[in-house]
Structure 1
Amino acid sequence: MRKLAASVVFAAILTAAPATAEPALDWGECPPDSVDLGQECTTVSVPMDYAAPAGDRISLAVSRIPAARPELRRGVLLLIPGGPGNPGLNRPWTLGARLPQDVKDRYDIIGFDPRGTGRSNPISCELSYADVRSLSQWPAPNGDISENVAKARRFADACVTKAGPLLRHVSTQNEVRDIDQIRKALGQKKISYWAHSYGTYVGAVYATLFAGNTDRVLLDSNDEADPETLWRKVMANQAIGVDDRFPDFAEWASRPGNPHRVTDSPAAVRPLFLDLAARLDRAPIGEFTGNTLREALLRGMNSDAGFPLIAQTMIAARDGGAPPALPLSPESVLQNTAAVAAATICNDVAWPRSIEVYQRDVLRLRAQHPLSAGLPGNIVPCAFWPYQPDKPVRVSSDGPSNILMLQSARDPASPLVGALQLRHALGHRAKMVTVGTGGHGVYLQQGNVCGDNSVTAFLVTGQRPVRDVYCAR
């Protein structure tokens, strides 16, 4: 991709999308324990099972902040959260508040909790606290996954027993259908959306199944969407993402004057990390193991603000001290996130049933990407999932050319390699802006002026770069 300045020549302005008359949704105050600063909330009723639309229904919690200047209003901008399993009801305030005024003037900013999540009929597998607080499936120090197999089986059995009938209907395709029901309830012929992380896959599937209902589509921090390798490849790609991102941490952790400096050379940080992890594998310090250190690495790489956590854990390993506590959400949140994440990935696509397949992948990834030690290839509850999965959607180039992809060059969670696959699948429909930063989440989060300006111009005017571009800063 060729580097271009922020003043890149843009394509023609997209035509406005007229809205139908808005139905009488019952907008009111948001729940008392949610953000309530100019945000209003409602519910939208949708079928639990779209194959039986006359059957049971569920309610989706939906929120909005109306356009600041109704005379300039273009329509709605739906914020699609990541995960799977992340709520989105408060995103109009917590994320939408960062939007430039020109964007807030023109759109109702819409949030929602996806089905099964938050306030949209939440599900739980009622896992043991020991299982739910350690959701990462780290292999044993020698690469063995026997304990992970037992945990994955417990997880699947608990979900089937405890989560209720909605469990088998939590999937990407059903979230996409829900979004179209939200569009209809809002009275919009077309919908614009800003999708993040896993939400980019949701957004890409929506733009495939409901191409004619899309206005301006922003996909930020993109996941791969190949139906032949869905989810297993998305997860395996994170081993590449960790390797892509680690040099940013190494430069920071060796910087003179840094109070958390671990060594005096960027080149020395990686071998030091691997040595400390191996040392803890051989001789744990109480519950401080090599996987504790690796977990800190994964937790700390999404933004530079997480670097001190990694460095402090390395220093504790080196000096024989206690590691800093890892941030942990309340148990109810962990239970809900775990259930929705498992249901989504297991209902989206068929998974291998052979334990040997996962063991082989773990050993291969440990050799190729030792920083993540085989975690991205490990077994998941889907190996024991009893329900028939959906047939994955093949994202394609059929549809309007109205998609802007935004991607960090060194994203550990949604790495560039996956974004490039999605870019190829979308073909002429998309243009991609890659920013020369590390971390997860780009628009208004990385401080990349070129990338931010490209997105704002797209949302306000419909202008996109005439070709894929690279924004150094």
Structure 2
Amino acid sequence: MEQSTRTRAPQSRRNAAYVTFVAATAALAGLTTPLAASGSPQAAPPQLLEWTACDGTTADPRQQCATLRVPLDHADPAGPQIGLAVSRIPSEQPGARRGALFLIPGGPGGSSLNDPSGKGQKLPQEVRDRYDLIGFAPRGMAPSTSLTCGLDHGDLAVSKLRPWPAPDGSLTGNFATARRVSDACARNGGELIKHIDSATNARDLDRISAALGERKLSAWGVSYGTYVGAVYSRLFPHRTDRIVLDSNDNPDHTRVQRAWLAAYEAGAEDNFPEFAKWASAPGNPDRVARTAAEVRPLFLRLAARLDHEPLPRPGANPPRVDGNELRQTMLNSLHDPDGYPTLAQLINAAREGTVPPAPPAPAEPVLQNVTAVATATVCNDLAWPGSPAAYEKDVAESRAAYPLTAGMPRNGTVCAAWPFPPKQAPVRITDRGPSNVLLVQNERDVATPLSGALKLREAFGRRAVMVTVNATGHRSYLDNGNACGDRLVSRFLATGERPEQDTYCR
């Protein structure tokens, strides 16, 4: 018989790591949670969590799971409810416990449900002693109440949902895809699809924190999770304890995800030279050129050839490799230097008129779920222009200035045809609140480049200190960073000691 434990009502010892996203309220005495300082309805008293063994196999048998009911619409707390899947591994040293450390996933479309058993176990012992590690599946992500748009198989291809222009720069195909995907999401997404956005994700975190009995939370947010963490820290600044934001998104509230997509221009330019050095190194079994200077023109020539002479790739989606598939593989590979061989092997094979087998893809139900949640979040956060004319000039300029990314970063996504208006304005990140945020950022990051991270640092002002790491790849702390950056972040989480000023880790 499975054992079940019950989270106790709020106690002063149950205080701390619930992460990133909600508004300043001075009322810390109780666990009822105001939505914001805007007269929004207050939340109902927190539900207590019933912890049981997790379904399926997890890497660590200590991980427990529970389901929390939260409002579909936080503005209507007494209305329909949905389920959020939550997980935890308790502090390994209860006498040293400070609180709960929320592991905020990237994406949108990511889940941290198994992260307490995964990346959470990379944390130093002193950090695992101080915190319960908390994971969750954001709203819409299975096994939380899940979302699907029921898309055609072909529309699940990354290079279809990423708006790569046609070889001649035309956007016609992109906007046909946008209309088709938006229609499917409106038809199949139900009410849930209208209530998935970044501010709502932050408010869900506040509900989880309350159900855990925490009056403050600590967090480790990565990639898109840095934006959720920043929003939480803005909406609920006095509910935050120690906040680590790793691989940081530009917080521009006038553009939100449009700015993140546009950042791939700089990100690719920052990172491609590192790939070129690796891909030209003597002794590399996947070497593509004799010198680093040869790699970029070789890549551009091959992409242009594949634009007009694609190669078949049976079993893949799409079942061919054209120029945009090569470019998408480049972006994927530049996320992590461990991915460089994938790009190099595709380049070498395509030059000879063949292609390697497609990498294994997630099961289609997983792709449907991830795609629906990612699309809903991006499109509900901010209204995008709806006319192709709004993008044509920008795309043409981008294609000329940044040929590696061929205009994609400034193109219109599915959101250009999205049928639902945003339910709330994007949250503007400011310096109001306690000085308890540590940003960690690799100098060369294709997805969240340093230029955007500096914008978040500027927005936080006195609230934040930033550690810039001389490293390449997306995700810095305990992943693609270096020992100096890892040491500073671990010290902050374990002791609260933070660098006195912005720091560069060579």
Normalising by the smaller structure, the TM-score range is over 0.9
**Cα displacement (A) at 1:36:** 4.9
Say whether 1:456 aligns with 2:490: yes
Of 284, 289, 311, the match for 1:263: 289
Say whether 1:189 aligns with 2:223: no
| RMSD between aligned residues | 1.6
Say whether 1:48 aligns with 2:103: no
The whole-number CA distance in structure 2 between the counterparts of 1:302 and 1:209 is: 30
Partner of 2:460: 426
The whole-number CA distance in structure 2 between the counterparts of 1:327 and 1:248 is: 26
1:81-137 deviations in Å (ceiling 9; x for gaps): 010011211011111011111100110000000000121111000000011134332
Of 231, 239, 244, the match for 2:265: 239
**Cα displacement (A) at 1:43:** 1.1
The whole-number CA distance in structure 2 between the counterparts of 1:59 and 1:470 is: 42
**Structure 1 residues 413 and 193: CA distance shift in structure 2, 3 A:** same
The whole-number CA distance in structure 2 between the counterparts of 1:24 and 1:383 is: 41
The whole-number CA distance in structure 2 between the counterparts of 1:434 and 1:289 is: 36
Partner of 2:373: 340
Partner of 2:151: 127
Taking structure 1 as the reference length, the TM-score comes to: 0.94
Contact 2:155 2:177 in 1 (8 A): yes
**Unaligned segments of structure 1, at least 5 residues:** 1-15
1:137-191 deviations in Å (ceiling 9; x for gaps): 2211111111111001001110000011100000001100000000100001100
Partner of 1:109: 133
Q: Bigger CA drift: 124-133 or 283-292? A: 283-292
2:477 aligned counterpart, secondary structure:
coil
1:27-80 deviations in Å (ceiling 9; x for gaps): 111112554531000111110011211110011100000000000000000000
**Cα displacement (A) at 1:24:** 4.5
Mapping 1:2-17, distance limit 5 Å: none
**Cα displacement (A) at 1:195:** 0.2
Taking structure 2 as the reference length, the TM-score comes to: 0.88
**Cα displacement (A) at 1:293:** 1.3
Contact 1:133 1:331 in 2 (8 A): no
Of 334, 340, 348, the match for 1:307: 340
The whole-number CA distance in structure 2 between the counterparts of 1:337 and 1:121 is: 13
Of 89, 112, 116, the match for 2:113: 89
The whole-number CA distance in structure 1 between the counterparts of 2:489 and 2:115 is: 18
Partner of 1:12: none
Report the identity percentage: 51
The whole-number CA distance in structure 2 between the counterparts of 1:322 and 1:172 is: 39
**Number of matched pairs:** 457
1:348 maps to amino acid: D
Contact 2:261 2:410 in 1 (8 A): yes
Mapping 1:117-196, distance limit 5 Å: 117-134=141-158, 135-196=161-222
**Unaligned segments of structure 2, at least 5 residues:** 1-12, 17-29, 32-45, 313-319
1:341 aligned counterpart, secondary structure:
helix
Contact 2:47 2:68 in 1 (8 A): no
1:439 maps to amino acid: G
2:504 aligned counterpart, secondary structure:
strand
1:196-232 deviations in Å (ceiling 9; x for gaps): 0000000000000000000000000000111112211
The whole-number CA distance in structure 2 between the counterparts of 1:337 and 1:269 is: 34
The whole-number CA distance in structure 2 between the counterparts of 1:23 and 1:218 is: 27
1:243-301 deviations in Å (ceiling 9; x for gaps): 10111100100000000000111111111111111121232234221112112111111
Contact 1:196 1:220 in 2 (8 A): yes
The whole-number CA distance in structure 2 between the counterparts of 1:323 and 1:140 is: 24
Structure 1 moving runs of 4+ over 4 Å: 16-24, 33-36
Say whether 1:379 aligns with 2:412: yes
1:381 maps to amino acid: V
The whole-number CA distance in structure 1 between the counterparts of 2:493 and 2:338 is: 28
1:406 aligned counterpart, secondary structure:
strand
